[in-house]
Every structure is written in structure tokens, then in C-alpha cells.
Amino acid sequence: KKDKELKQTNKPHVNFKDVAGLDEVKEELVEVIDFIKSPEKYKKMGAKIPKGILFYGPPGTGKTLLAQALAGETNSTFFPASGSEFVEKYVGVGAKRVRTLFEKAKKNSPSVIFIDEVDAIGAKRTTESNNEKDQTLNQLLIEMDGFHSDQNVVVIGATNRLDLLDEALLRPGRFDRHMHIGNPDLKARQEIFGVHIRNKPVDKSVDIKKLAQKTHGMSGAHLSNIANEAAILAVRNNKKNIGIEEFDAAIEKVIGGVEKKNPHIV
């Protein structure tokens, strides 16, 4: 029996149209969508559906958003988790959490499991033993080996550091498809602004291309932040529409924040 409540709460209303740029990644994911939507077609042909996909790249570039969109496009139940949630003091706790997560996902399939910061569980094992961590990683490997592609569960892992991950996680049948999610280029920044001003009253004089030019090196999360800051400023300034002054001030503010955190980016 499926968890009715869960089915309703974990259905993201996010689609590919909410994810701007990343055209190549989206193209690759279209295939995965087809797998999830019509698994019989692939089964008949003797093709194995991918179980694990790894998104890697800098923070704020849309990894979580893409995973949600994959669930949204396929009407799958979304199971978000963060690798750090599984790292516990007591041996066996993390492993048990992994087991429960997969059980729920299988029960409510089609499902997309999203494990952010997967390196927190899946970092290369060292000679120094860490029972709790090793058991958690082992359990993840067991779960990924243990379900069949016709159970209609896709696991997406996300990390900023692909090089940190244990080889065992990257083997065929586990996270064997790797997709790089990078910072947006000029065109993508323009498109991301497009998505984030979609439902905002923006003054006709605002040139999105110029905004994109002024935000070199920023992530999608920064751009979404700028659009929101600009809207807040427009309210504060008693404006009817968001004008270029608000966007410029918002860009300055976000650049200030970025510089403080990471002086070599901008």
C-alpha cells in the first residue's frame, strides 16, 4: 500500500521550464524521463534503466532544482535527503536511515531520491576505520545494488567535489552517470533572470542582457537572489515596477556578499 499522505506532499510542482540553461544536462535527462514514464519499453528491449545519477559542480547551480524538476516531469514522489543527515555518532543509525529512505521510495514509486552532499556519506574510505561511516556507505551500496530498475526508483546524488567520492559508489549499477552542473554562461544567466522575473512587474527599460553581463561568475542562486532583492527594493521605494536602479542596487548587494565569502570569485 502506498503512503497516501506522502504522495501528496512530496510531489514537486517544478518542471524543466523552471530550470534555465543547462541544455545538455536537460537533454540527457529527457532520456531518463522516458525511462521512468515507460519502463516496459526498455524492459522489452532488454535495456537497463539507470539507477543512479550524480550531479556535480559548484553550489547554487540548480542541482536540487533539476532533481525536483525530474520528479515533477515524471510525476514521481520526491525524497530529498542530505548526506550529512546520515552521519551519526552511534553505529548503525545512519545505515538504518538509508534503509528506511529506500523502503519508502520503493513503496511510493515512481520515486526520485535526492541525496545532497553525498560526499558526506560517500567520501573515499581511509585506512583509519570509522565504523559508523563505513556502515552507512555500505548500506547505500547495498540499497543501490538491491533494487531492480523495474522498481522505478532513480537516485540522484549531488556533490561539489566529485574527486572526493569513493570509487565503489561510481561503479556501474550505482552512480554511473555523471553530469556536470556548472556556473551559467552569459546566455544562461539571461535565461535564469528570465525565469526569476517571470512573475514580477519589471519596467520595460530593464535590459536583461545587460544584467547578465554585470553578473559574470555568479550562480543561479545568486541571480535568483538578485531578482528577489530588486523586488523588495521596489516595494521599499514605492515603485509600481522594478526598475534598473533596483536591479543595480541588488547586484551590488549580492556582489558584496559574494566578495565577503569568496574574494577571488568576482
**Pattern 204-223, ligand ATP, x by CB under 6 A:** ----------------xx--
Taking CB under 6 A as the binding criterion, the range among 58-66, 69-77, 148-156, 257-265 that sits at the site for ligand ATP is: 58-66
Least separation in angstroms between CB 215 and ligand ATP: 13
Whole-angstrom Cα distance, residue 264 to residue 266? 6
- In terms of Cα–Cα distance, which of 205, 212, 194, 210 is closest to 242? 205
Least separation in angstroms between CB 188 and ligand ATP: 7
The verdict on whether residue 63 carries a ligand-binding annotation is yes
> In which element (H, E) is residue 180 found?
strand 175-180
Tell me how long the chain is.
266
SS3 39: helix
Least separation in angstroms between CB 78 and ligand ATP: 13
The verdict on whether residue 214 carries a ligand-binding annotation is no
- In terms of Cα–Cα distance, which of 103, 101, 107 is closest to 121? 101
**Backbone angles phi and psi of 190, in degrees to 5:** -65, -45
Please give the single-letter amino acid code of residue 58: P
> In which element (H, E) is residue 198 found?
none
**Backbone angles phi and psi of 10, in degrees to 5:** -105, 30
Whole-angstrom Cα distance, residue 76 to residue 152? 9
Binding ligand ATP (rule: CB under 6 A), the pick from 36, 65, 169, 231 is 65
The verdict on whether residue 46 carries a ligand-binding annotation is no
Pick 151 or 228: Cβ nearer ligand ATP: 228
Of residues 180-199, which lie at the interface with ligand ATP (CB under 6 A)? 192, 195
C-alpha cell at 94: 545512519
Taking CB under 6 A as the binding criterion, the range among 56-64, 143-151, 169-177, 240-248 that sits at the site for ligand ATP is: 56-64
Least separation in angstroms between CB 247 and ligand ATP: 17
Pick 109 or 219: Cβ nearer ligand ATP: 219
| Chain residues in the site for ligand ATP (CB under 6 A) | 19-22, 59-65, 116, 158, 160, 192, 195, 220-221, 224
Q: Residues forming the annotated binding site for ATP?
A: 57-64
